Amino acid sequence: MTVIFNKRDPIYLQVITHLKKLIVSGELRPGTEMPSRRQMANQMKINPNTVQRAYSEMEEQRLIFTEPNKPSRLTEDPAVLNQLKKEWLNQAIDRFVSAIDPIDMSLEELLPLIQEELSNRKKAAK
Amino acid sequence: MIELKNVQKQFGRKKVLNGISFTIEKGEISCLVGVNGVGKTTILNAIMNLTPIKKGSITIDGKPLVPELYNNIAFIPDASISLPHFTVQESMDFMNDYYDTWNVKRAKDIVKFFRLNPSDKLRDLSKGNQAKVNLLLGLALDVDYILMDEPFSGIDIFTREQITEVFSSYLVEDRGVLITTHEINDIEHLLDKVILLDEGTIYKEFNAEVMRETEGKSVIDVMREVYNG
């Protein structure tokens, strides 16, 4: 797992964003056992205290849960997972709209362009 | 915790440490940063009592640092701590004979981790591999505190990457680590505490993650402000 961190945002937030992306994309399945904070730190080459912080934050958001004496696992709660997808989508839309805002284009003009990009990506993925 | 309080040191008339106070906590990686000649190595030497201090105090877990307590600290200097005609294995055997805290199993793990060959003579090793042997001899001790002087100086980028991996590994787990460096770039995301030195005083001390979170600044951003400002 190679993650490139930027130097100005808190690393624990970057770790959370990275893991959320793996969850919404389905690369991390619901219920998956999480690596220990030491394993994760070693994989991402970051400070274990940072991973600890990311894990506690994700626990608070109910994305992961820990039973006594067991490794942490990803949630299987559909409500939490749906909420995460929604949040991810809202952020993506927010970034997209901010980026295209300076160009004066209507939704009707944009839609076919987005559709074309989507189908190009699907083709490229195959 | 190792605690320095108002540590002062003079060489002749020149004050090299002028009231240095900070702590090294277990489970944290702290870093002394500053250009050459600001007193980084003098601070490590002062903690190890290699250069007695004039004023101030240094305590470990609340107790004054007396000789018996030094077996709880590993000091990894910039220069080789073994002999050039020794092999890696002979260097480890020497440590095993001399130090009760030498951990044979961990030493083996580190040799593997660094991909060192135990039968190589130190004088035949590259500078990078010599630095790894130096780290090996310090990290394999079962101690709570590790001091490293310039572990990255004059070392190629790939060796640096390997050495950097030590800091996120179990090799330093739960230990209190203090490193000195002027090359912060590769390691700033690994640090807990950063202590910026200038002319024997502490300019600024901060937690790197808190700095990013509250001010949106990287360690290098802060250094630029302090040293160029």
* Chain B residue whose CA is closest to A42: B168
Name which of A44, A47, A56 to mutate to probe chain B: the one with the most chain B Cβ atoms within 10 A of its Cβ. Answer: A47
- Spatial separation of the C-alpha atoms in residues B191 and A46, rounded to whole Å: 9
Contact B75, B48 (CB under 8 A): yes
The tally of domains found in chain B comes to 1
Average pLDDT over residues B75-88: 90
Question: B213 vs chain A: nearest CA distance in angstroms?
Answer: 5
What is the per-residue pLDDT across A21-62, written as a single tens digit (0 to 9) for each?
Answer: 999 999 999 999 999 998 999 899 899 999 999 999 999 999
Average pLDDT over residues B19-24: 96
Q: pLDDT tier at B117 (50, 70, 90 boundaries)?
A: very high
Q: Provide the CATH number for the domain around residue B23.
A: 3.40.50.300
Residue A52 is predicted with a pLDDT of 94
ipTM, interface predicted TM-score of the complex: 0.84
State which residues form the domain around B49.
Answer: 2-228
User: B7-38 as b/e, with b when 16 or more CB fall inside 10 Å?
Assistant: bbbeeeeebbbbebebbbeeebbbbbbbeeeb
Residue in this structure with the two tokens 């205290």, named with its chain if needed? A49
What is the per-residue pLDDT across B141-162, written as a single tens digit (0 to 9) for each?
Answer: 999 999 999 998 888 999 999 9
Q: Which residues of B touch A1 (CB under 8 A)?
A: none
Q: Does the distance separating the beta carbons of B170 and A38 come in below 8 Å?
A: yes
Residue B66 is predicted with a pLDDT of 87
Residue A3 is predicted with a pLDDT of 83
Q: pTM value?
A: 0.89
Residue A126 is predicted with a pLDDT of 82
Nearest to B169 among A42, A50, A53 (CB): A42
Give backbone dihedrals phi and psi of B128, rounded to 5 degrees, phi first: -65, -45
Nearest to A38 among B173, B212, B220 (CB): B173
Q: Does the distance separating the beta carbons of A8 and B216 come in below 8 Å?
A: yes
